[in-house]
Structure formats: structure tokens, C-alpha cells
Amino acid sequence: MDMDVDEGDFGEEGEEGEEGDYYDDYEYDPYSHEWVPKIKDPASDEDSEAAMLVSKSQRDASLSTIAQALLESARASNEVHLKEKELKKGRSENDLSFFDEFLMCCGGCRRLCRIEEMPPHLQFNKYIHSGYRTLQDVWGCILSILYLHNETLNIVTHLAPIIYVLLYWRTMFPWEDIQGNIFLNILGWSHIVASIAPWVGSVIYHTMMSHDSGPEFYQLLLQIDMFGIWLTECFGERIDQFERSHMVPFRIRQELRRWRITEWLAFLGLYKALTAWTPMARRMCFAPVFMSRILGIALRLSSWGGGEPAVLLHVFLQDIISVAGGIVGVVRIPEKWFPGRLDLWFNSHHIMHIMVVIAVVHMNLATNGDIRWIINNYGGECCPVH
């Protein structure tokens, strides 16, 4: 109950009266924000009933208000505790020895999570409902390669090209035909870097994305992934730019080099890649580099262009397939049609990974054909082959 009390209702200081004992009979309840009757101890056993200022029902109501406030506070604290416990669930497994954790991973004994259990920065695809790894340390992330989860196919599809390039890099470029030629060797190593860079960044990102360091570390992993793609876009274009501009008049080539158009577009793409904070921004950051590639293809088809005619189909396919893969990743097809049923196999990101691997295969075929064209046609005075 609310009771408004004015000082004028009481007598002068020191005067005693019936209203002057108000503060002796009532007290302020901080939980209900009301003035309630004060509970006093009885003066003696004989007159205990007369000494009580409140009835049992009033006393119980006051205590009930206090108990309800304490219960609500405890419930809120418990909800916060349960949420933190869910996010860190499975963390105790990381306290195992490396050997024990290795055996658990080999046996597929790791607990997988649903999307509701993951922190917000890992809930980026609402159509993938399960198969998420628990938050873990570095060794836990690395050993996650050994068991099945919703990032397994992403890791395997880009780990396989790394192994292939490391084992068979000598077959990916006509090294025997460019012995002693510094310029063509630089082109060759640029091609090797372009062939392996995106896979390295992608494997690091997809393997370590379940690390327990939080969104800041996740953003760093995204930047590593984007930097690898940027290296492929730029280094893979070196040979294309060379043979496309081979027949361009010398004065025009000098003017293009003076303005450094392709370099400006490349570094603009790198800046956008490292500062992008949304999935769409990360996909659009390579638009400047892609524009330079389109201009290069137009130059190749003109009377000033060059290159091996037999590999022209591969030149088109390397860009068409990579762009198509990016579109599949944006529209979230097919998991949008079957939410929760393609969590482990062949969702849009898995399909995109496979498509970009195929695109780089076409890049390798186009590059090998063009480099042989350069060896057979380029003027020895500017770039001697022998």
C-alpha cells in the first residue's frame, strides 16, 4: 500500500501524540517500495496478542514480496550461468592429453553441436542446423580433421590440391623449356603461388574457425582466407596480362605501365578484402580485380591481343566457373530448399569449394598453353628464352 505522509501531519519536534509515533509503527520496504507496518516483538507473554501491530496475513504478504524479488534475481543469475555453460560445453575435453584426444578424434567420439549452441559469429548460415564443432584450442581444431563435421568437406576439398601441388609442382609448368630465363621462371613461380595460395588460406580458415578465442580471431582467419584468394587473382593474371598485351603498340604499353592501372585495381581489391565485414562485401571486394580480367580478355580477343588459341575455352571457364561458385554460395542453394538435411554433405559452400578447384584446374591448363605460346612467339630481344 502507498501512504503519502506530510511533515505537517505531525506535531512539533518533541511533541508526542498519536500520529507522532508513525515512524515507530511503520517502516519502508525497499523491495515493494511501500511503507508497511513494522513487526515488533511482544512486550510480554501475557499481552503478546495486543502488542502485535500487524496481522499474520499482512506479515506473510510482506515476506512473499521479498521472497519473490529474491527468486527473480536467482532465476536471472541462473539463466546467465546456463548460457555460459552451454557455450563452453565440451571445453573439459581439451584438458585431456594429446594422445587421449587423438584417440577420441580417430574414434569419432567428439560431440557435435547445433546452431543454437554456437556463438553468433559462427551462426552465419541459418539453413545448416547441426554438425558444428565445440569451441576448442589449437590442437582440438587441428585434430578435428580426423572426424566428420560440417566443415570436413570444405577442409578436404582444399587440402587435396595443396598435397597435389607440393608433390607434382614440376609437372604444372614447362620448366625444362625455360632454363636460364629469369623472366619466364618468375612467371612460372607466380603460377605455382597462384595455384596453392587459396587452398592454404581456406584450410587454415575452415580448420581453425571453431577456436575459442572469439570473433576477433575469427575475423583474422577470414582475412587470411581472403588474402589467399587475392594472391590467386593477382599472380594468376601475370601470364595472362603478358600475352594479352604482347601485340599492343609499344607507346600504349608504356602509357599503361606508367599509370599502373592493374596494380591500382589489385591493391584496391586487397584493401576491400581485408576490411570487409559482411559476406556480401567479401564477395564483392574482388570486383576491381575481376574487371581487369574482363578487360584483359577483351584485349586478347582484339587484333592487338595474343595467346594460345587452343586454350581460349579454358580462359573463359576459369572465370565462369569461379563466379558461378560464388553465386551458389550467396543464394545458399540447395540447403535453402532442404534446411537441416545437407549439414554434412553438399551444401552450397561445399559445392562452391569443388567449383573453384575445377576453375583453378582450367587456369592451369590455360597457363601452360599460353606459356608455350610465349616461348614460341615472344621477341628474344626483350625476353630471351635461351
Which residues belong to the annotated binding site for Zn(2+)?
Answer: 206, 349, 353
Say if CB 381 and CB 351 are below 8 A apart.
no
Chain mean position to CA 156 = 18
* Pairwise CA distance, residues 342 & 353, whole Å: 15
Helix (H/G/I), strand (E/B), else coil: 372: helix
* Pairwise CA distance, residues 97 & 139, whole Å: 10
Helix (H/G/I), strand (E/B), else coil: 304: coil
* Binding site feature residues: 206, 349, 353
Total residues found in the chain within this entry: 386
* 3-state helix/strand/coil string of the chain: CCCCCCHHHCCCCCCCCCCCCHHHHEEEECCCCEEEECCCCCCCCCCHHHHCCCCHHHHHHHHHHHHHHHHHHHHHHHHHHHHHHHHCCCHHHHHCCHHHHHHHHHCCCCCEECHHHCCHHHCCCCCCCCCEECCECHHHHHHHHHCCCCCHHHHHHHHHHHHHHHHHHHHHCCHHHCCCCHHHHHHHHHHHHHHHHHHHHHHHHHHHCCECCCHHHHHHHHHHHHHHHHHHHHHCCHHHHHHHCCCCCHHHHHHHHHHCHHHHHHHHHHHHHHHCCCHHHHHHCCHHHHHHHHHHHHHHHCCCCCCCHHHHHHHHHHHHHHHHHHHHHHHCCCCCCCCCCCCCCCCHHHHHHHHHHHHHHHHHHHHHHHHHHHHHHCCCCCCCCC
Q: What single string gives the DSSP state of each residue in 245-257?
A: TTTS-HHHHHHHH
